[in-house]
């Protein structure tokens, strides 16, 4: 099966996760893709194929060499973002992109334009996979799954390429921060791995944000507004006061590179009660801790003003994998040299987000992130250049080849 056909097949399967669910997987429909990939793994002759009750799928491509080669792994995730529908995805291929606007949906006048998304112009002359303007595409991370499966098939079909034992795994619920929750690192059995979950061609990442969530519950005091003076405490006004106390230039829309932020993701409620939700991000661990402390201090300050009516729930989500990857930087070097060998210039940069690999690195599995090729994830303007899809699969093959080539003979 060609990788393009493989990806489109996966993209049509709805696997959207649900952050409000307490189950694993958060949506049973993720099993629909998991079972399809399980079937393909068995058909291509992979061994130890195991899909567990939590929708974690693992499999093995056995070594074909007498050398003692480290066991390495490749990982991607089944689910797509809750930010936009992943049902009835209808991928379309734009042949030899010419640099003009792409009309995704005539009825709703949805246009993918280089004036809004200049990165389109990096892919002039390439075939692009786009949406019909009603859903996301799902390249995050069905492109990663397709690339891993295509690379495994290629290695099966080309036994002349020497490689060690390769483990692959696909997880549920990465988009809601739970992809590593029930990942069995010991069972996986790799010395290191790579998540195929980055974006544009050439991306290679071993630094990510430290991440926390903050939820502030506010109890107001509602009385008739005509007689409210000195009595009413409007929970919605308190919520807005808290938001205004945070530094205005430390928001996602004002930051880039290594700059951290406070991101307001929700305010809801009434005069009587309200809830404010943030995510807190910073690459630097000390700055990250300072951001959490500031949130705590502001809540305490408002509690002093409003009779202790605010309660803060602050939870760490994941940490910067740099701490765990830097001692084994050769794993990044393998990926960098693999990219160069297939004609890609590596773009090593920090992730302004996180991946399963961040948490897995702290669970004992160093796990840098490699591009999957898609752009504008999580929305109707998502697109995937076909050459990037193919190149990512070639990088996986080349990593396996390099690791075996440079291992000592028995």
Catalytic residues: 79, 174
Q: Are 372 and 192 in contact (CB under 8 A)?
A: no
Kindly give the pairing relationship between strand 72-77 and strand 166-171.
parallel
How many Cα atoms occupy the beta-carbon half-sphere of 348 within 13 Å?
13
What whole-number distance in Å separates Cα of residue 90 and Cα of residue 83?
17
Q: Give the chain's length.
A: 410
The token pair that represents 242 in the structure block: 């808290």
The token pair that represents 61 in the structure block: 């491509």
Percent helix, strand and coil across the chain, each to the nearest 5: 35, 25, 45
Helix (H) / strand (E) containing 37: helix 30-43
Q: Among 12, 219, 15, which Cα is nearest to 131's?
A: 12
| Secondary structure string (H, E, C) spanning 212-266 | EEEEEEEECECCCHHHCCCCCECHHHHHHHHHHHCCCCCCHHHCCCCCCEEEEEE
What whole-number distance in Å separates Cα of residue 286 and Cα of residue 283?
9
The token pair that represents 158 in the structure block: 């080309």
Q: What b/e readout covers 337-375, taking b as 16+ CB neighbours within 10 angstroms?
A: ebbeeeebebbeeebbbbbbbbbbbbbebbbbbbbbbbb
**Residue owning tokens 């606007």:** 101
What whole-number distance in Å separates Cα of residue 93 and Cα of residue 132?
10
The token pair that represents 279 in the structure block: 């995510």
The token pair that represents 324 in the structure block: 């765990």
Q: Among 198, 203, 210, which Cα is nearest to 258's?
A: 210
Cα 45 to the center of its chain, rounded Å? 29
């Amino acid at each position: 099966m060609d990788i393009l056909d493989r990806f489109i097949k996966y993209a049509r399967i709805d696997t959207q996760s649900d952050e409000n669910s307490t189950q694993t997987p958060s949506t049973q429909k993720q099993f629909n893709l998991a079972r399809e990939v399980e079937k393909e793994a068995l058909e291509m002759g992979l061994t130890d194929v195991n899909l567990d009750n939590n929708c974690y799928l693992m499999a093995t491509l056995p070594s074909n060499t007498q050398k003692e080669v480290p066991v390495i792994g490749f990982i991607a995730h089944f689910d797509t973002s809750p930010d936009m529908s992943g049902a009835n995805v209808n991928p379309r291929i734009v042949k030899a992109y010419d640099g003009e606007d792409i009309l995704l949906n005539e009825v709703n006048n949805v246009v993918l334009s280089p004036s809004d998304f200049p990165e389109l112009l990096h892919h002039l002359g390439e075939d692009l996979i786009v949406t019909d303007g009603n859903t996301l595409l799902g390249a995050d991370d069905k492109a990663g799954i397709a690339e891993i499966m295509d690379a495994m098939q290629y290695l099966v079909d080309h036994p002349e390429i020497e490689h060690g034992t390769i483990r692959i795994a696909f997880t549920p619920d990465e988009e809601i921060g739970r992809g590593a929750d029930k990942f069995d690192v010991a069972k996986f059995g790799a010395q290191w791995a790579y998540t195929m979950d980055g974006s544009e061609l050439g991306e290679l990442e071993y630094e990510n944000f430290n991440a926390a969530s903050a939820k502030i519950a506010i109890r107001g005091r509602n009385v008739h507004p005509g007689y409210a003076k000195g009595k009413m405490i409007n929970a919605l006004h308190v919520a807005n006061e808290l938001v205004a106390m945070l530094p205005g230039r430390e928001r996602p829309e004002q930051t880039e590179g290594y700059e951290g932020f406070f991101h307001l993701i929700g305010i809801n409620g009434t005069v009587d009660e309200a809830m404010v939700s943030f995510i807190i991000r910073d690459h630097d661990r000390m700055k990250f801790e300072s951001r959490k402390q500031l949130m705590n201090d502001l809540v305490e300050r408002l509690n002093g003003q409003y009779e202790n009516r605010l309660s803060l729930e602050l939870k760490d989500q994941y940490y910067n994998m740099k701490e765990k990857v830097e001692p084994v930087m050769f794993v990044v070097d393998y990926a960098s040299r693999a990219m160069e060998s297939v004609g890609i210039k590596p773009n090593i940069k920090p992730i302004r987000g996180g991946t399963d690999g961040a948490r897995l690195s702290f669970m004992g599995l160093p796990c840098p992130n490699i591009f999957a090729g898609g752009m504008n994830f999580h929305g109707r303007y998502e697109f995937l250049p076909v050459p990037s899809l193919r190149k990512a699969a070639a990088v996986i093959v080349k990593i396996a080849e390099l690791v075996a080539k440079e291992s000592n003979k028995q």
